[in-house]
Structure 1
Amino acid sequence: MKAQRTRSQDRILNLLKALNRSVSAQDIYIELRHHNQGMGLATVYRSLEALKLEGVIQVRTLNSGESLYSCVQQDKHHLTCLQCGASIGIDECPVHQLETELQKSHSFKIYYHTLEFFGLCDRCVTEISC
């Protein structure tokens, strides 16, 4: 039986739907305060964790260690520059078939997956080679 969401979880989920982009927990905290729906930062983190475990939001951790949260959408894949932090979205997904196989073979419910490649963007490669 699925636990019922708290008011804080509903507020955060509604905010993420409205923003329609990935944001940090700190950004969520600030946005809620701007909308007169303030809550403690610890509550924001607890609510995000519960929503993640429910499978309705996803988290992406940047190479800086910052976590970005968004509603579960289509799979997102990125090329991330280790020098400047630029992140380029890519549309191709080579792991959809693997995901299906893993769900069947391990009786494991997969909510989403991420695929990220780390390296240097064109601009940073040029700066390093100069």
Structure 2
Amino acid sequence: MSIRQPSSHKTVFDFLKQLQREIDAQDLYLELQRRGKKIGLATVYRALKTLHKQGSIQERMSTNGKSLYSATSFHQQHHLNCLHCQRSIVIDNCPINGKLDRWFQSQEFKVYYHTLEFFGLCTDCQEQEAFRQS
């Protein structure tokens, strides 16, 4: 017997699949409102929580503390995050993907997605810091 998901879950999931980028919950809510979808902010948060638990969407924390969501079918991105200017630079190729896949298989663990985040200073902020120190 399969359990049907509420239509709000489908609305949120379909939007994230179509969007093909990360978005925070409040911006997602506002965009759904602009598109004429009758869905409340609390419902958006509940749908995101459920979809994340199911592995249908991924969540990552931005440098400013916001959760960003995207469909797991969206190309997995990894980031270099600058703690000073809050810029997030996409790493195009995951440097550990093959090793992780083999390790997950050896652990008999099904992975829906993974994240790889590095935190530090971007080139511009490093230069500004060096200038201030001289």
Q: What is the TM-score with the length of structure 2 in the denominator?
A: 0.87
Aligned partner of 2:23: which letter?
V
Aligned to 2:91: 90
4+ long deviations beyond 6 Å: none
Decide whether aligned partners of structure 1 residues 85 and 56 sit closer, same or farther in structure 2, where only a CA change above 3 A counts: same
Aligned to 2:18: 18
Shift, 1:124, TM fit: 0.8
Q: Is contact 1:29-1:38 (8 Å) kept?
A: no
Q: Match for residue 120 of structure 2?
A: 119
Matched, 1:46 2:59: no
Instruction: Note if 1:27 corresponds to 2:23.
Output: no
Equivalent residues of 1:22, 1:70 under 8 A apart: yes
Shift of 1:35: 1.3
Counterpart of 2:76?
75
How many aligned positions are there?
130
Q: 1:24: how far off?
A: 0.4
Kindly state the Cα deviation for residue 97 of structure 1 after the two structures are TM-superposed. Answer: 2.8
CA distance in 1, matches of 2:54, 2:61: 19
Q: CA deviation at 1:2?
A: 5.5
Counterpart check, 1:4 vs 2:32: no
CA distance in 2, matches of 1:78, 1:58: 14
Normalised by the length of structure 1, the TM-score is 0.90
The one-character-per-residue Cα deviations of 1:35-88 (angstroms, maximum 9, x if unpaired) are: 111322111111011111221211111122100101112321111100001111
> SS of 1:114's equivalent?
coil
Instruction: Measure, in 1, the Cα distance between the counterparts of 2:34 and 2:17.
Output: 16
Structure 2 Cα separation of the partners of residues 7 and 39 of structure 1:
10
* Two-structure CA RMSD over aligned residues (Å): 1.6
Does the CA contact (< 8 Å) of 1:24 and 1:68 recur in 2? yes
Alpha carbons of structure 1 residues 129 and 30: separation in structure 2 relative to 1, 3 Å? same
What percentage of aligned pairs have identical amino acids?
44
Q: Distance in 2 between matches of 1:74 and 1:35?
A: 25
Using a 3 Å threshold, how does the CA distance of structure 1 residues 97 and 18 change in structure 2: closer, same or farther? Answer: closer
